[in-house]
Structure formats: structure tokens, C-alpha cells
Amino acid sequence: MKETIPNHVAVIMDGNGRWAKLRNHSRSWGHIKGVDNVIEIVRAAADAKIKEVTLFAFSTENWNRSKKEVDTLLNIMRKFLKSKRDHIIKERIYLNVIGQREMIPKDLVQEIDQLDTLTKSNYQIKLNIAFSYGGKFDIIQGVNRYFEEHDKPITTDRLDEYLLVGNVDLLIRTGGEFRISNFLLWQIDYAELFFSPVLWPDFTKVDFIKIIEEVHKRERRFGKINESTD
């Protein structure tokens, strides 16, 4: 059996609100604590020779939450970009924020674009932050962009080129839930899935590496049959 290290790992960072509630704090406090994990997990991924990580930070559906929580999440993103800027640059991380930008406040878009420009030539690892992102939106925008440039039928290979990120090898969801939640629907068609019971603020690099080691031993067949075992 051939062992493979995933090139692209996606993570649904779930459990912030429940983590805070267990400690008699507000959901907002849970989101704030959850941010502390981001650089640690990305650093662990880089050490494991993973080339790309996509983190689900804010979905298109999250805009339907209370204004107070939405404002908190927007401010957390602002603070992350400012407070982690030096870490991101120093550790040669290319930061790429993907999502429905017209929904995001202009000042935050400017912060995103500035850090994107500063880190575009970084090579250690690519960090995609899915913010105001939905899998269905990604597919639709990819199809629309394709037909703006072509007048011939679209194919799966052609659509791949117009999506916001490429195919995913491993999808991790923390927090004990067993849903995809409209995340990278096209890109995870043959991804390995791992659902961790650990709430995101408690999710450590040790947890992350254990998952990588387990998945490293799985055989990915992409619909084919292994004649030696089947």
C-alpha cells in the first residue's frame, strides 16, 4: 500500500461557541480564542511538508447571524491580519483570502489585499482563509467566469481552473459534527474525511499531526480497485 502525504488540507474550524459556553463565556470569546490556533496549525502543516491549507473562517450563511456576532467576527479578522502580519511574513506563508468579497467591508478588503501582495512570493506554505465563502457560490462564480472567457461547453477539468482553490486531499472538521456545511463542495470529491471530537480552541498541533499520520497510511483509490487486496 502506497502511503501519501496530503498536499492540500482543509479544516472546518468548528466548536468555538460551544467551547466558550462550557466556560460560561460568550460565543465571541470562543471565536477570539480560536484564532490563536491558526498559526500553530499552519506551522505544524508546514513542518509536515504540506503545501497548502484552507481554513473555513466565515461562511456565506454566517451573515445571517446576529449583527453583534457578525461584527465580532469581522473585527477578529481585522485583528488577525494586523497582529499576525509579522508572523505570516517571517514564516514565509502566502496568505490568500477567498470568498464573496462584495459582502466584506471595504476597509477589510484593503487589509486583505495588502497582505496578499506582501506575501504572494512566499513559498513555505499557502494559507487560504475562506471568509464569506460558500461551496455553491464558488462553483457558480467559476462557471460564470468561464463563460465570460469562452463560448464552448465547460468540462470538469476546465471548471477546476476557475475555482478559488484546487482539489483537497484531506478535509478535517473539529467539534464533533459530521457535516460538510457548504465548504469546498467540488474540491473534496475524493478527499479523505476526518471528523474530530475536539473543539477548535482545544485542537492542538499534536491532534493535527496524529490525523495526518493516520491519513498518511490510507490508500486513496479515486474509484479504482487495488487488485492485490480486492
pTM check: above 0.85: yes
- Sheet architecture: strand order including 192-195: 93-98, 125-133, 52-59, 8-12, 170-173, 192-195
Report the distance separating Cα 154 and Cα 216, nearest Å: 34
Q: Is residue 194 part of a domain?
A: yes
Residue 188 lies in a domain: yes
Confidence of residue 90 (pLDDT cuts 50, 70, 90): very high
3-state class (DSSP) for residue 173: strand
Three cell numbers, residue 227: 487488485
Instruction: Compute the average pLDDT of residues 125-138.
Output: 98
Domain span holding position 138: 8-216
pLDDT for the residue 216: 81
Q: Which three cell numbers stand for residue 78?
A: 481585522
Output the nine-digit C-alpha cell for 119: 506575501
Helix (H, G, I), strand (E, B) or coil at 74: helix
**Residue 1 is assigned to a structural domain of this protein:** no
pLDDT at 1 (0 to 100): 42
pLDDT of 194 above 60: yes
In a domain, residue 225? The reply is: no
Say whether pLDDT at 24 is over 90. Answer: yes
DSSP state string for 118-134: HHTT--SEEEEEEEEE-
Show which residues are catalytic: 14, 62
Segment 105-114 shows an average pLDDT of 96
Q: What is the mean pLDDT of residues 170-175?
A: 98
In the chain, how many domains are there? Answer: 1
Is 227 domain-assigned? no
Is residue 79 scored above 70 in pLDDT? Answer: yes
Assigned domain for 223 exists: no
CATH code for position 111: 3.40.1180.10
Asked if residue 224 belongs to a domain, the reply is no
In a domain, 3, yes or no: no
Taking the C-alpha atoms of residue 230 and residue 227, their distance in angstroms, rounded to an integer, is 5
Q: Which amino acid would we find at residue 156?
A: T
Q: Which residues pair with 195 in a beta bridge?
A: 173
